[in-house]
A and B are shown apart, each in its own frame.
Chain A
Amino acid sequence: MISDEVVQAAIIAKLKTFTTVTVLLTDGVNDIKELQWQGDDFHYPAVRLDLEDNSIYFDEQEKCTLQEVTFSVYIYSQERSSKQCSQIKGLMMNSFIGKSWSGTGVKFVKIRLNDNSPAIREDERTWRSSAQFKSRVHAP
């Protein structure tokens, strides 16, 4: 079983390679973190990863350990319009969808977009948009 933190670290590492996204962030790659990150030093716009599910996928042939992961990427912005929030999400989605890659200790097979939530006002000043992805993962 590939543990949650390995999957999460690999996705965050991949997100940090999307230069089209990181150039739009105030502090570059440092503004990409896990959703429940417990710090208070952060900037907007921000990118946050939420690993929602990481479970064994039972394949009949049992040739290899196969897991299915579901994760959401949230984009936060405090601009007056939702444009920046949507723009970052669009770039991130284009970089993710259909991609397969090997991270540290885990290989992702063809990332699929499962759901896409356009920008909403989380509170009076903060825009939030998100995209949910699914992928099968196995050991490289």
Chain B
Amino acid sequence: MATKTQLVKTSDIVRYADRLATAIRKNLSWSRKLKGTVIVEKPKETKGGVSISISVGKYALDPRGKPLSGMARAFEYGSGIHATRGKKGKYRIDPFRARALAFNWAAGETNIRALESSLFKARKSGDTSNKFLGRAPDGRLMFRYVDHPGVRPRHYMARARAQVRESSKKELALSIRNNIKNEIGLVIKGMKK
């Protein structure tokens, strides 16, 4: 049977993807949410060769029902003022379940006087757009919305690629050599018949 020469087999690519996914999972050990969302997709054979995808956060949803892939991207490339790709700058977060966002914020506590003063002024003037809404009964600070500075990049994927590059390069080269050897063997066998 005449077959197309396969220099890189699907199994070679799957093995590489498995290595890379394991390294990504290890680099994501700090994130309970993202660590479990690393998926090795099925390989695809195209005319040009074989391809395989590794997804992070694609099939897991955040409380708003959006895929965690946005979060995965933010921690790889950074977001907000730390973004290494796309637009830089703070982004607004609004509450979607409750009427206010409430959290413990050390930097806010050090500037509590300024925050309380802005709230006092807003109440006095009847301004309903003030960001700070006061302190919750449990002590957390409440806000109508926040301008989030974003997260610093952790480059967990780029680091994983670097971690597996050398060993995979050697392994892939060996596989290609073996695949060529096998193909030549099959051709010679066919010629003898």
Contacts and interface: CB of A to CB of B under 8 A. Distances in A.
A120 B1 contact: no
Contacts of B10: 115, 117, 132
Chain A contact residues, majority secondary structure: strand
* Contact-residue bracket for chain A: 20 to 34
Among B9, B21, B42, find the residue whose CB has the most chain A CB atoms closer than 10 A. B42
B17 interface: yes
Contacts of B18: 120-121
A121 B22 contact: yes
A117 B36 CA distance: 23
Nearest to A116: B11
A33 interface: no
Contacts of B35: 124
A21 B38 CA distance: 29
A115 B1 contact: no
Contact of A124 (B3, B17, B38): B38
A74 B11 CA distance: 13
B15 A120 contact: yes
A118 B11 contact: yes
A123 B37 CA distance: 7
A74 B62 CA distance: 30
B40 interface: yes
A123 B21 CA distance: 9
Contacts of A136: 1
A31 B35 CA distance: 29
Contact of A120 (B3, B6, B14): B14
A71 to B, nearest CB: 12
Contacts of B1: 68, 112, 134, 136
B40 A121 contact: yes
B40 A122 contact: yes
Given A128-B40, A136-B1, A118 B15 contact: yes
Interface in B1-26: 1, 3, 6, 9-11, 14-15, 17-18, 21-22, 25
10 contacts: A52-B45, A115-B11, A117-B15, A118-B15, A121-B22, A122-B39, A123-B37, A124-B35, A124-B38, A136-B1
